[in-house]
Structure 1
Amino acid sequence: MLSNRQLFLLNTAQTSHSPRLIEIERAEGVYLYGPNGEKYIDLVSGFAVSNIGHRHPAVLEALYDQLDKYLHVTVYGEFVQAPQVQLATKLLSVLPDPLNTVYFTNSGTEATEGAMKIAKKYTRRREIIAAEKAYHGSSQGALSLIGNPEYHRAYAPLLPEVKFIRYNAIEDIDRITSATAAVILEAVQGEAGVRVPDADYMQAIRRRCDETGTLLIFDEIQTGFGRTGELFAFMHYDIVPDILLLAKGMGGGMPIGAFIANKAVMDVITENPILGHITTFGGHPVSCAAALASLNVIVDNRLTEGVEQKAEAFRRYLQHPAIREIRGLGLMLCLQMDSFTQVERISRYCAENGVIIDWFLHCDTALRIAPPLTINDEEIRTACQVIRDGITYAQQSG
C-alpha cells in the first residue's frame, strides 16, 4: 500500500521539483504536528493565513454553528446570508470612509481580479500601473501585475497596458497620468523580501492619484488583520486607498478574500452588463462565519498591541554575524542572507529540528518569518535558537 507521501507525488499537481514533503496530521495554536510525533513551530502561518493561530476555539465554534444551519445556497449577491452581512458590517466598522462596500471572493487573486475590473470600468481607462517585484496572485490578470518578467514569459500574452514603477521610488511617480485607471501597490512588498515603503512615498502616491483621477489599490492580502502591528498596514501611512484587497489572514484558516471600495466605485458591476462580476463560492457562509470570529478575536483581544514587542523579541534573539539585515514591519520579517544555498540549508535544518520557515518568490536569498500573532516569548526564543543553530550549520556545511 502506498503512503500518503507517495500518493502526494503520484496524484497531486507539483509546483516544484523539490516539495517539502512534510506530512501534517493536525495543528493547534502555533504548532503543526506530523503523523509520527513530529512537532513544528510554524513561523510562516500558512503564508500569513493563521494570524490567530491554527484552529482557534472561537473560529471552530463559529464553524460548527454555521455547519448546523446551511452551507452553499446560491451564487454570491442574490440571497441575504447572515454570515456575509455580519462580516461586511464588522469589516466596515473598523475601516475608514470612503471604504464602505465589500465584495467577497474565494482568494486574494480573485480580489485582485475584481479590483482591476471595477477600476477600469469606473475610470473608463485601461492602463494599470504596478510595482517591480510585486506579487498580486497567479491568475492571468493578476499575473500580469507581477513585476518580474521571469514569471511572464511562459504564459504570454498577458494583459496589455500594464506598466511598472519602482517600489518606494518617488522619482517614478510622474509615470502616473490621466490615462492611468489604477495604481496597485502592496502596503509592504512581501515576495520582494519584505520591503517597507517610506510614509512620504505612499503619501506622494496618494496625492498623485488624486491629481490624475487615478484609483489607488492597496494589496493587503499579506499585511492585513494585524500582521504589521496595525489592523491594516495602510494605517501606518496616514492615507486611505480607494480599493482595499484582503485575504489570507482574513478567514482564520478558511479560504476567503475581499475587495472593498466606495459604493460609487463598486456599483459599476451592477449594470452594463448586469452581473458584471460574479462568483459561485465567494463569500461562502462557513468561511464568512470563520472570518467574523477571527476578526473579533483580533479586535477584542487587541492582538495588534503585542505585535511590535514580539517583533523586537525576534530581532533581539536573532543576532548572528551571518544575518546581513533584518527587514520588516511588525511580525512580517525577513532575514537577509548571502545566497539561496544558505537559505535552503537553514530552512531544511530548521524543519528537521521543529521550526518551519521559508523564503520569498522574488528574493530567494532571504528567510521569511511571519508567525501567528499569538506566539509567546518562550516560543519565539526557542524558534530563534533553532534558526541560529541552522545558520551555523549552513556555514559549517558550506
Structure 2
Amino acid sequence: MSYPLSPFIAHTTKMPFRIDVEKAEGVYIYDKAGNKYLDFISGISVSNIGHRHPKVVSAIRHQLDLYMHTMVYGEFFQDPQINLAEKLHRILPEGLDVSYFVNSGTEANEAALKLAKRYTGRHRLVSFIGAYHGNTHGSMSVSYNETKKAPFRPLLPGVDFIRFNEKEDLKYITHETAGVIIEPIQGDAGVRIPSPDYLISLKKRCNEVGALLIFDEIQTGFGRTGKLFAFEHYGVVPHILTIAKGFGGGMPIGAFVSSKEIMDTLTVDPALGHITTFGGHPVNCAAALANLEVLLGNDQDLIRKAEAKGELIERLLQHDEVIEIRRKGLFFAIQMKDAHTVAKVVNGCKEKGLLSYWFLSNPDSFRIAPPLTISVEEIQTGCGIIQEVFSEL
C-alpha cells in the first residue's frame, strides 16, 4: 500500500518507499495497515543487530534515567563517552587510539578531511572513481557521482580522483597530498572489492609521501563484511578511521578515530579545531556500547556467522536473470541487466513483504544487507520471495 506524501516534511524524492511505519522488531518492520516486511537492507547497514535489540533498548532506558544532553561535546566528563572510547581503544589496532564522537557518517568524513589537512599542513585530497562519502559539501567533494554534485558546485578545490584497485594510479598520490579517503570495499558503487594486496600498496604509498590514509568504514563496519571492520580482511590499518551507521545499534552516532599525536592537532592553533553540540550524546553512546557488546559477544557469534549466511544467500539467489553477485559477508550487490529490471525487483519484493533497495551510483544493481541477527529460516523465506520476483520478470 502507498501512502500520500506529507506536505509538511521535506522529501528527498518524489517517489519514496511510502511505508507508514507502525513498529520494528528484530528483522521485521510493520506498517499501520498491518503489513509485515522482512528487512533485507537494515536501514542501509544501520540495524546490524536488528531493530530494537533488547540490550540496546535497556542501555538507552538506563541512560535516560541519568541524563541526556548536558553540554557541548568535550567540555564535561560523561561516562557513556569515556566508556565507549575505551571500548574502541581496546578493540582497534594500535594507531587508532583516540575517538572523537560526532552525529553521522558525513560529519565523521568532514572532520577526517579537516584532520588530514591540519596534521600535514597540506591542502590536496585524493579520492576514488565510484566513491561515496556523504552529502555535505566536503564529503560530496570527495564523492564521485557528478550528477549528484553538479547542482551544488563550487565544492572543495584540490580533489583528485583515481581509479579504485588500480596500482598504476597510486603515483598521483604525491608530497602535496594531505589525505587519501577510500572505502575499503566500495559501497554505493555496487560493492566493489579490492584485490588482496591493493590496500597494502595504497598504505605504502601514503607512508612514502607523508599523506594520511582515511578508511571510510561507515557502511562496511560493525560486522557487515564478516569482520568487525573491513580493513581486517586486508591487514592494513589506516591513519584515520571513520565510522557511523551500524555503530549505534539504531541510534545516530558517528566517530573519527586516529592516533593521539594526530588527533591532538585539533586542540591547538586553533583550539576547538572541530566542535559539535550533540556529538557524543550520552544516550547514543550508551546505545553504541551495548551494540558493540552484542556484536562481540560469544552467545550468538554474529560476526563470524555473517560470511556463512552470506554464502547461503548467494547460493539461494542464483538465477538466469542475475548477471553477477558481488559480496563480502552480508554486504551484497546483485547485478541485473538494467535499471528498469532493478526497479521491478525492488518494488516487486516490497509488494511481497521484503525490503531490498538500490544504489545511487550503480543503478543496474540492487542492494541486500540484512541484519546480522537474521536466521537461516528467515534467509530462506527472503530469498524465496526474491526468487518469486525473478520468475515474474
Q: In the alignment, does 2:202 pair up with 1:185?
A: no
Q: Does 1:92 find its partner at 2:92?
A: no
CA separation in 2, counterparts of 1:370 and 1:103?
27
Which position in structure 2 is the counterpart of 1:259? Answer: 256
Tell me which residue corresponds to 2:146.
Answer: 149
In 2, the alpha carbon distance for the partners of 1:217 and 1:330 equals 22
- Return 5+ residue gaps in structure 1 as ranges: none
Please show how residues 115-134 of structure 1 align to structure 2 within 5 Å. 115-134=112-131
Cα offset, 1:152, TM superposition: 1.7
Residues in 2 aligned to 1:279 and 1:366: alpha-carbon distance in whole angstroms: 36
1:201 lines up with 2:198 in the alignment: yes
Match in the other structure for 1:10: 7
Tell me whether 8-17 or 273-282 shows the greater mean CA deviation: 8-17
Amino acid at match of 1:170: K
Shift of residue 199 of structure 1?
A: 2.0
Deviations, residues 88-128 of structure 1 (Å, cap 9, x unaligned): 10011110001110000000000001101110010000000
Tell me which residue corresponds to 1:290: 287
Q: Distance in 1 between matches of 2:317 and 2:203?
A: 36
Q: 2:318: which partner in 1?
A: 319
Q: 1:227 aligns with which of 209, 224, 229?
A: 224
Identical amino acids, percent of aligned pairs: 52
| Matched letter for residue 378 of structure 2 | E
**Superposition pairs of residues 29-44 of structure 1, within 5 angstroms:** 29-44=26-41
SS at match of 1:98: coil
Asked if 2 retains the 8 angstrom alpha-carbon contact of 1:74 and 1:280, the reply is yes
2:48 corresponds to 1:51? yes
Q: Secondary structure at the match of 1:65?
A: helix
Residues in 2 aligned to 1:389 and 1:29: alpha-carbon distance in whole angstroms: 24
Structure 1 residue 46: Cα displacement: 0.3
- What's the TM-score once normalised by structure 1's chain length? 0.97
Q: Give the equivalent residue in structure 2 for 1:367.
A: 366
Q: Which amino acid aligns with 2:309?
A: K
> What is aligned with 1:333?
332
Give the corresponding residue for 1:176.
173
1:224-246 CA distance string (max 9 Å, x none): 00000011100000110000000
Secondary structure (helix, strand or coil) at the match of 2:383 reads: helix
| Offset at residue 10 of structure 1 (A) | 1.1
What is the Cα deviation at residue 9 of structure 1? 3.1
The 2-side partners of 1:318 and 1:328 are apart by: 12
Partner of 2:343: 344
Separation of aligned partners in 2, 1:106 and 1:163: 27
Could you tell me how far apart the structure 2 residues matched to 1:207 and 1:273 are?
Answer: 31
Q: Is 1:106 equivalent to 2:103 in the alignment?
A: yes
Deviation at 1:147, TM superposition (A): 1.1
Distance 1:88 1:329 in 2: 27
CA distance in 2, matches of 1:101, 1:93: 11
Partners in 2 of 1:163 and 1:5 — Cα distance? 43
Coordinate RMSD, CA, aligned: 1.1
What TM-score, normalized to structure 2? 0.98
Asked if the contact 1:101/1:266 (under 8 Å) is kept, the reply is yes
Give the Cα separation in 1 of the matches to 2:92 and 2:285. 17
Q: Aligned pair count? A: 391
AA partner of residue 74 (structure 2): G
* Residue 276 (structure 1) shift: 1.0
CA contact (8 A) 1:100 1:262 kept: yes
Deviation track 1:296-354 (CA, whole Å, cap 9, x = no partner) reads 00001331110111001101111111101110110001110011111111111100111
Structure 1 contact 346–393 (Cα < 8 Å) conserved: no
User: Shift in Å at residue 5 of structure 1?
Assistant: 3.9
In structure 2, what is the Cα distance between the partners aligned to 1:376 and 1:163? 43
Give the deviation of 1:23 after TM superposition: 1.1
Per the alignment, residue 245 of structure 1 pairs with 242
Separation (CA, whole Å) in 2 of partners of 1:179 and 1:199: 27
